Amino acid sequence: MTTAHQPNQSSKSTSHWLDRRLVLFTGKGGVGKSTVAAATALLAAEQGKRVLLIDVDSTGNLAALFEHPEVGFIPTEIYPGISAMQMDTEDSLREYLNLQLRLPLAGRVGPLANAFDFIASAAPGVKEILTMGKICWEVRESLEKRAPWDIVIVDAAATGHVISQLDSPRAIRELVKVGPVANQTEWVIEMLADPLITELHIVTTPEEMPVSETIDLVKSLKTRVDVPLGNIIVNRVLPEPFNRADADIFSNLETTNSLAAIEKTAGLGGKKVLAAASLAVSLRRSQSKHIAYLRQSVDLPLVYLPYLFIRDHGLRVTRVVSEALGYEMGTGG
């Protein structure tokens, strides 16, 4: 497997990708965003880093990728070196009010939650800032040594929602120009824009829809938000079973004698064997076409992860993807 990752690019070369304090993953639903985020967490933990893994998608279950029961808003160790938490905007609001305004709030936010729901639906970006604010707050706490994390890894929103999340501090700053809330947005914007701290990777697969969504997303990210972009991780790339010369050999096999010989040795209809080979070749060619289009449409490094033929979901998949990721991106350790 080859990689287009160019380690000598700009200021990024001064530090390794796992040296960022905040690493975010987005991508179209189903492409393997959570798997890649979990695999990255494993890679970082294996280097001795203390990881906070944040699941932003409320339907997700990242802890399951470590064969651990679901976790809540409070970071909980799910694997040696990896703590995980599930984002929850109401909990985030409660924590914010507690910390910033020193309001003693026990239990549910209650009437405040109703007011919050009202504001959140009236003003765009309120729920999103509670998500981004919490993420960046954990990073800041870790930089100031009040939280143990060496790296915060985020299974962020899918392509459709990630921009409004990343853009929320700016949207809120437009809304509230002075006072403590405005001051809070400033440092979040700065942290998200800092290439030594933050990096956003996009996960995709070599198929038509994920590739076109990725191309659109890169364009929107570049024009609408100031967040350093890392790699495009192309997941589920099929191995190349046969080269062009092999394909010629296969077409030459389509004679009655050869088909009979295949049937005799394989114990399977010769036509079926050739059809399977032809399907493998055309799937792989279609993937190559999408990869080529992606490569010429975006100027980010592409990193490839193989299709895993594993009928499993837990730690084993996370481990195998983590190994492939470490090989492709480097472990820097």
Ligand X SMILES: Nc1ncnc2c1ncn2[C@@H]1O[C@H](COP(=O)(O)OP(=O)(O)O)[C@@H](O)[C@H]1O
**Residues making contact with ligand X (CB under 6 A):** 27, 29-35, 235-236, 305, 307-308, 313, 317, 321
40 makes contact, choosing from Mg ion, ligand X, none, with CB < 5 to 8 Å by partner type, with: none
Give me the least distance between CB of 86 and Mg ion, in Å please: 12
Spatial contact of 204 and 300, defined as CB atoms under 8 Å apart: no
Cβ proximity to ligand X: between 78 and 317 the closer is 317
Cβ proximity to ligand X: between 242 and 307 the closer is 307
81-99: buried (b, 16+ CB within 10 Å) or exposed (e) per residue? bbbbbbbbbbbbbbbbbee
Short-list 41, 12, 23, CA closest to 135: 23
Half-sphere exposure of 199 (CA within 13 A, CB side): 20
Three-state SS for 284? helix
Give me the least distance between CB of 302 and ligand X, in Å please: 15
Does residue number 27 form part of the binding site for Mg ion (CB under 5 A)? no
Give me the least distance between CB of 185 and ligand X, in Å please: 28
Cβ proximity to ligand X: between 191 and 233 the closer is 233
Spatial contact of 154 and 22, defined as CB atoms under 8 Å apart: yes
Distance CA 31, CA 25 (A): 11
Does residue number 34 form part of the binding site for Mg ion (CB under 5 A)? yes
Residue whose pair of structure tokens reads 């064969």 in the numeric block:
67
Q: Which amino acid type is present at position 124?
A: P
305 makes contact, choosing from ligand X, Mg ion, none, with CB < 5 to 8 Å by partner type, with: ligand X
Give me the least distance between CB of 87 and ligand X, in Å please: 14
DSSP 40: H
Total of residues contacting Mg ion (CB under 5 A) = 2
Q: How many helices (H) and strands (E) does the chain have?
A: 12, 8
Contacts for 44 with CB less than 8 Å, ≥ 6 apart: 18, 51, 81, 150, 151, 153
Spatial contact of 307 and 238, defined as CB atoms under 8 Å apart: yes
What single string gives the DSSP state of each residue in 49-74? Answer: --EEEEE--TT--GGGGGT-----SS
Work out which of 27, 32, 60, 301 binds Mg ion, going by CB under 5 A. 60
- Looking at residues 202 to 261 of the shown chain, list those that interact with Mg ion (rule: CB under 5 A): none
Listed ranges 42-50, 52-60, 73-81, 309-317: which one lies at the site for Mg ion (CB under 5 A): 52-60
Give me the least distance between CB of 316 and ligand X, in Å please: 10
Cβ proximity to ligand X: between 215 and 308 the closer is 308
Cβ proximity to Mg ion: between 34 and 214 the closer is 34
Cβ proximity to ligand X: between 43 and 126 the closer is 43
Give me the least distance between CB of 293 and Mg ion, in Å please: 25
Task: Name the site residues for Mg ion (rule: CB under 5 A).
Answer: 34, 60
